[in-house]
């Protein structure tokens, strides 16, 4: 009897391990293995497939860029054929390289442009977007040189020709990345309680009530940027400044406008949609308003964020650090 029972237990354990193994294989084949787990790439094993894992995983490129219909292209250009110039980034890079060569007076290849776009994104900013891409070598992203190289190979593969040998990172990049140079040393002086911070974030009656405008996964509003993985892309100093000085850096796609109607109604918010007859605006309270265009007397962009700028006054020190502790868990 005991042997039969022991045999059944062993069979069940083996069966579970087989299912786990199968799930892992399927995850890796589907290219989703990078989500939530760092990519591990040997310097001699750099491929577009490895770069794809970086793009959709550790690099968190998808938080600002899409490839076709997958990802988010509000803050950064779509890297598929629906992006700028109606070309995927691998083909588009050749056109951009010609522009960079004319602007700098130096020879520029498509690969040079892709490398520059990752490591010095402010050198060339696509029209209609802002210089707001973080350096992926620095925390919290902290890509290794081989991960950057693999990501470039993946971008080459999107409409272009893959040439790993042509990918040369700037001098000093490898040493700086491996030494962790440029890491953010800023730290809060209170640890905070993530659970209390989560309550502050989602409770519409709290002093923060962030979820009125911001979404985390499938909860919250859509007036402001989604914050699902914010701590995996932005360092702590940036997050603090975004709370206390929201107008300092307004994310692309979330610029505020002022609408004055013919009935002298003032509406300030973020454009969420627009067609020939109406404009849809999300305001600071998370409300979504549809305004007929034939009722608009004036429409003008604004420099002040829709997000309130008085959180430093309405949040207690403890509440602020609790909220910060919760945001740090969103990686």
Q: What is the per-residue pLDDT across 247-299, written as a single tens digit (0 to 9) for each?
A: 998 998 899 999 999 999 999 999 999 999 999 999 988 899 999 999 999 99
Cα separation, 283 vs 6, whole angstroms: 63
Is 184 a member of any domain?
no
Residue-level pLDDT at 177: 63
Task: Judge whether 205 lies within some domain.
Answer: yes
- Segment 232-251 mean pLDDT: 93
- What average pLDDT does the segment 153-177 reach? 89
The yes-or-no verdict on residue 20 having pLDDT over 60 is no
Residues 215, 103, single domain; the answer is no
Q: What's the pLDDT at 30?
A: 33
User: Are β-strands 278-282 and 219-220 bridged in parallel, bridged antiparallel, or unpaired?
Assistant: unpaired
* Banded model confidence at residue 21, pLDDT cuts 50, 70, 90: very low
Query: Considering the domain boundaries, does residue 40 fall inside one?
Result: no
pLDDT at 18 over 60: no
- Same-domain pairing of 295 and 312: no
pLDDT tens-digit map of 26-58: 333 333 334 444 446 776 789 999 999 999 999
**Based on the domain organization, do 62 and 140 belong to the same domain?**
yes
Q: What is the CATH number of the domain that holds 288?
A: 2.30.30.100
In angstroms, the Cα distances linking 174 to 40, 129, 156, 234 are 16, 29, 21, 21
For residue 192, what are its two tokens?
Answer: 């905070």
Residue 237 lies in a domain: yes
Same domain, 93 and 157: yes
pLDDT at 76: 93
C-alpha angle 206-210-212 in degrees, rounded to nearest 5? 95
One domain for residues 131 and 224: no
The residue range of the domain holding 109 is: 48-179
How much of the chain, in percent, has pLDDT values that exceed 90? Answer: 74
Within this chain, do residues 323 and 284 fall inside the same structural domain, yes or no?
no
63 and 112 share one domain: yes
Q: Is 111 helix (H, G, I), strand (E, B) or coil?
A: helix
Statement to judge: residues 146 and 103 lie in one domain: yes
Residue 188, in any domain of the structure: no
Q: Which residues contact residue 252 at a Cβ distance below 8 angstroms, ignoring those fewer than 6 apart? A: 74, 75, 76, 128, 129, 130, 132
On whether residue 5 sits in a domain, the answer given is: no
Mean predicted confidence (pLDDT) in 84-95: 97
Kindly state whether residues 166 and 260 are assigned to the same domain.
no
The number of distinct structural domains making up the chain is 3
- Lowest model confidence (mean pLDDT) among 18-22, 182-186, 215-219, 225-229: 18-22
Does 4 fall in a domain? Answer: no
* 127 located within any domain: yes
Tell me the mean pLDDT in the region 57-82: 94
Which segment, 8-17, 30-39, 202-211, is predicted with the most confidence on average? 202-211
Whole-number pLDDT of residue 248: 93
Tell me the pLDDT of the chain averaged across its residues.
86
pLDDT value for 37: 43
Q: Report residue 60 as tokens.
A: 């968190």
The mean pLDDT of 137-146, rounded to a whole number, is 90
**Above 90 in pLDDT, residue 210?**
yes
> Looking at residues 172-195, what average pLDDT do you find?
71
Together in a domain, 108 and 207:
no
Identify the CATH number of the domain in which residue 102 sits: 1.10.760.10
Last residue of a domain, one of 121, 156, 179: 179
In the prediction, which pLDDT does 185 show? Answer: 59
**The domain boundary residue, chosen from 179, 211, 236:** 179
Can you list the pairs that 56-63 forms with residues at least 24 positions away whose Cβ atoms lie under 8 Å?
A: 56/31, 56/32, 57/32, 57/33, 58/34, 58/141, 58/143, 58/147, 59/34, 59/136, 59/141, 59/143, 59/147, 59/151, 60/141, 60/229, 60/232, 60/233, 61/151, 63/226, 63/228, 63/229, 63/232, 63/233
The confidence score (pLDDT) of residue 6 equals 44
User: Rg of the Cα trace of the chain?
Assistant: 23
pLDDT at 176: 64
The average pLDDT across 201-207 equals 96
Both 125 and 82 in one domain: the answer is yes
Structure-token pair, residue 293: 């265009």
**Which H or E run includes 298?**
strand 296-301
pLDDT tens by residue, 105-127: 999 999 999 999 999 999 999 99
Q: What is the mean pLDDT of the segment spanning 177-195?
A: 71
The residue among 179, 203, 226 that closes a domain is 179
Residues 165 and 270 in one domain: no
Q: How much is the average pLDDT of 139-163? A: 95
């Amino acid at each position: 009897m005991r042997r039969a029972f022991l045999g059944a237990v062993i069979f069940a354990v083996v069966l579970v391990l087989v299912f786990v193994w199968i799930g892992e294989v399927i995850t890796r084949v589907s290219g989703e293995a990078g989500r939530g787990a760092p990519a591990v790439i040997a310097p001699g094993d750099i491929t577009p497939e490895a770069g794809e894992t970086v793009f959709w995983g550790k690099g968190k490129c998808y938080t600002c860029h899409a490839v076709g219909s997958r990802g988010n292209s509000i803050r950064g250009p779509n890297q598929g054929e629906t992006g700028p110039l109606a070309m995927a980034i691998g083909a588009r890079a050749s056109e951009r390289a010609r522009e960079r060569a004319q602007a700098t007076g130096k020879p520029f290849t498509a690969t040079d442009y892709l490398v520059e776009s990752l490591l010095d994104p402010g050198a060339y900013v696509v029209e209609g977007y802002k210089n707001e891409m973080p350096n992926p070598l620095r925390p919290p992203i902290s890509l290794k040189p081989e991960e950057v190289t693999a990501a470039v190979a993946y971008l080459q593969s999107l409409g272009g020709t893959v040439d790993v040998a042509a990918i040369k990172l700037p001098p000093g990049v490898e040493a700086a990345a491996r030494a962790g140079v440029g890491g953010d040393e800023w730290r809060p002086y209170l640890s905070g309680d993530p659970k209390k911070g989560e309550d502050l974030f989602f409770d519409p009656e709290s002093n923060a009530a962030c979820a009125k405008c911001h979404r985390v996964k499938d909860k919250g509003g859509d007036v402001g940027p989604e914050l699902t993985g914010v701590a995996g892309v932005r360092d702590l100093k940036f997050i603090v400044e975004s709370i206390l000085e929201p107008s300092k850096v307004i994310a692309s796609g979330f610029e505020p406008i002022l609408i004055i109607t013919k009935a002298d109604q003032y509406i300030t918010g973020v454009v969420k949609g627009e067609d020939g007859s109406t404009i849809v605006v999300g305001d600071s309270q998370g409300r979504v308003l549809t305004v007929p265009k034939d009722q608009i007397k004036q429409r003008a962009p604004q420099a002040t964020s829709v997000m309130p700028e008085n959180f430093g006054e309405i949040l207690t020190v403890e509440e602020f650090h609790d909220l910060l502790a919760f945001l740090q868990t969103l990686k």
